[in-house]
Amino acid sequence: MADTNPDPKAASASQQQLQVKVPEDVQAGVYSNAVSVNVNSNEVVVDFGYLLPNTPSPVIQVVGRVNLNHRTAESFLKVLGGAVEDFKKKAKDAGQAGAAPETAPLPENA
């Protein structure tokens, strides 16, 4: 995935544009409601998991694992933080303007 730098002054003139291609078997994604992060001197390992709610013996099933070097992990933090802040700002602005969030109508058979 491409590094996204929020500071345009910090980007070098020689930086090239990258395309991100998502294989078909990955496009649907996976749902995660639990996360675990482990850090050592070489890498950051992020496990995404699914915890089935309301079960007598809860077990988290890992549905994805991402291994990152420290530099990529720091970049990911910045990108994720920026995306969440942008979302919150847009939601707040939409709420102040009295606009409902954009949603697609449900099919009548749903």
Q: What is the pLDDT of residues 65-88, one digit of tens each?
A: 999 999 999 999 999 999 999 999
Token code pair at residue 48:
């995404």
Rounded distance, CA 102 to CA 104, Å? 7
Residue 69: predicted pLDDT:
98
Rounded distance, CA 26 to CA 95, Å? 34
Could you tell me the residue ranges of all domains in the chain? Answer: 18-96
Q: Pick the closest to residue 33 from 47, 55, 48 (CA basis).
A: 48
| Residue 27: CA count within 13 A, CB half-sphere | 5
**Residue 11 in this model has a pLDDT that exceeds 70:** no
Give the architecture-level CATH label for domain 18-96. Answer: Roll (2.30)
Rounded distance, CA 93 to CA 99, Å? 9
**pTM of the complete model:** 0.65
Q: State the pairing for strand pair 60-68/44-51.
A: antiparallel
